Structure 1
């Protein structure tokens, strides 16, 4: 996830026009004031969008979790927030591998929950991008 966030942040910062930076310098701002007051406000929409989309991509990528994390399957329900647990894609994978019909409906419900979380995160990214693009 970090390389995606770094690349999105770099591109968003590079997209700030040089004329804005030069105008800030012409008004007597220091380099740090230019970065803090001109560059970051102009690029925050792209940085937030890249970060949120990277997180949603990490949530949606189930193949590495199943390949690497399948050994961390926890067969019981956690009782509180500090108990050990497994991630939802691995739980869905385990439910679909069971032959009983009840597990199929549980897997379908888990898939809908995961899909809802992904769509919500992507909608948040779109909202933030549009909000900050209109602002500046």
Structure 2
């Protein structure tokens, strides 16, 4: 209300001085955080009741080997056994192959104990040169 009164006072003063006002239509600006919706469905356009699915932007594509590496990184010491195989829904031999690949890149160490399952051990980087842990260099 106070703002309205100020506007009216300003208009009155302008009329007294003989100034004319020109109304400029205001264009409403859409907020920056609004993302467009993508409509997807089994039969798009078949009817007006197609399900609407919001797509999140900025998400990185994550593969199963990424999830495997993140699990090793989180646990720091992980046995490659049937339980892990079921959890990740990947064959145990494939997990061993992936461990070898990660070992080649110095991200994990693969250890084969005399008794038991093979183990993947997360390689921590020493902080002498400012690098981050597990960045591909053994320390």
Q: TM-score range by the shorter chain?
A: under 0.3
Superposition TM-score, scaled by structure 2 size? 0.22
Larger radius of gyration: 2
Of structures 1 and 2, the one scoring higher in RCO (CA 8 A, sep 6+) is 1
Superposition TM-score, scaled by structure 1 size? 0.22
Structure number with higher helix proportion? 1
Structure number with higher strand proportion? 2
